[in-house]
Amino acid sequence: MQRREFLGTVAGFGVGAAVLVALATVTGGEAVLGALGRADLRLLALVAGTILAWLCLWGLGLRAVLEAVGSDVSAVDAVLVNAGAAFANHVTPFGQAGGEPATALLLSDVSGAPFERALAAITSFDVVNVVPSLTLAAVGIGYYASVAVLGATLRTVAAGLATVAVVAPLAAALAWRRRRGVERVLVGLLAPLARIGGRLLPRVAPPERAAVADRVAGFVGAIESVAADRRRLAVALACSAAGWLAQIVGLWLALRAVGATVPLYVPLFVVPLGTVGSAMPTPGGLGGIEPIQVGLLTATTAAAAATVTAAVLLFSVGGFLLTTSVGAAAVTLLQVRERRLGAG
């Protein structure tokens, strides 16, 4: 990691930590600490299990996407790469946007696929993950509306969700129909940037426009392969949905661990909607996801704000630390294995 990137990551962690401290202070301070201290350790172990299940399920979904683009990897390697993706997202600024290129490099090393094909697989699976998240959030809010009155906040959220559910597929369909034009635009944008990067970086020859065009064509072609393989696409969607459900159950268990009894349909929309906070320019969206989850839970349940905050910290921050640790171990294991294979 370059010095500038390292400083950016450290600054991001600092901002995220400051937001979390402010959140805990505003919602109860000592009461939050008390709820954390009373948490049921057996239920917290189950929360950890759901987080690990999520990593495994999304790893299997990623494997299905990789098979669709012609890269055959084992289930174990796919799970390790997905864990490595979580690590990359958590140690780079801007969350997933910063971690995806690093994940694609790791995947390229493991599978032997060209970088653009690996990046296309990661990007495709990210898009796949959006479909179950919107569906589950819509089901959760819809059921909540059938048993309770939607407050102003949830009415706004529901309206925004409905808009995204309509606009996003239309925009994606339009971009897909005109993908050749989009491909030319990408080449036009990336070719000058690649030349500038080649001049600035020592010992790196700037690529020709034709080489950039070939890379972009490979990227788009890989996405076309995913879209055309309906069976593997269905497997990826199923694994994605199961991974979302594992996270939802994890938050529900974390709430129970601190003594809050909340209907399961509430985390059904709180978890997917909370990921909007990952757009915050901090590693893994730390400090962005948690306030949204706390706000939604306090607006839709009778649980005390301090109790809700403790549960969210256990689930979100605890999950962040767990997935970062597991991901770091996965990256280390894969790199050590690749070096041994290269030496052999």
- Encode pLDDT of 164-196 as tens digits: 666 766 776 676 677 777 667 766 776 676 566
Tell me how many helices (H) and strands (E) the chain has: 14, 0
Percent over 70 (pLDDT), the chain: 78
C-alpha dihedral (49, 51, 52, 58), degrees to nearest 10: 140
| pLDDT, the chain, mean | 81
CA 282 to mean position of chain CA atoms: 13
Please answer whether residues 290 and 106 qualify as being in contact, where contact means their C-beta atoms are separated by less than 8 angstroms.
Answer: no
Rounded CA-CA distance 32/23 in Å is 10
- Residue range 140-151: average pLDDT? 80
Residues in contact with 214: Cβ distance below 8 Å, sequence separation at least 6, in sequence order: none
| Domain interval for residue 176 | 3-343
Closest to 172 (Cα-Cα) out of 126, 115, 114: 126
> Do 50 and 246 touch, CB atoms closer than 8 A?
yes
pLDDT of residue 165: 60
Q: Give the number of domains in the chain.
A: 1
Look at the chain and count its residues: 344
pTM of the model: 0.85
Contact 118, 77 (CB under 8 A): no
DSSP states along 116-154: HHHHHHHHHHHHHHHHHHHHHHHHHHHHHHHHS---HHH
Which residue type, as a one-letter code, is found at position 108? S
Confidence (pLDDT) at 29 = 85
For the ranges 114-128, 207-221, 240-254, which has the lowest average pLDDT?
207-221
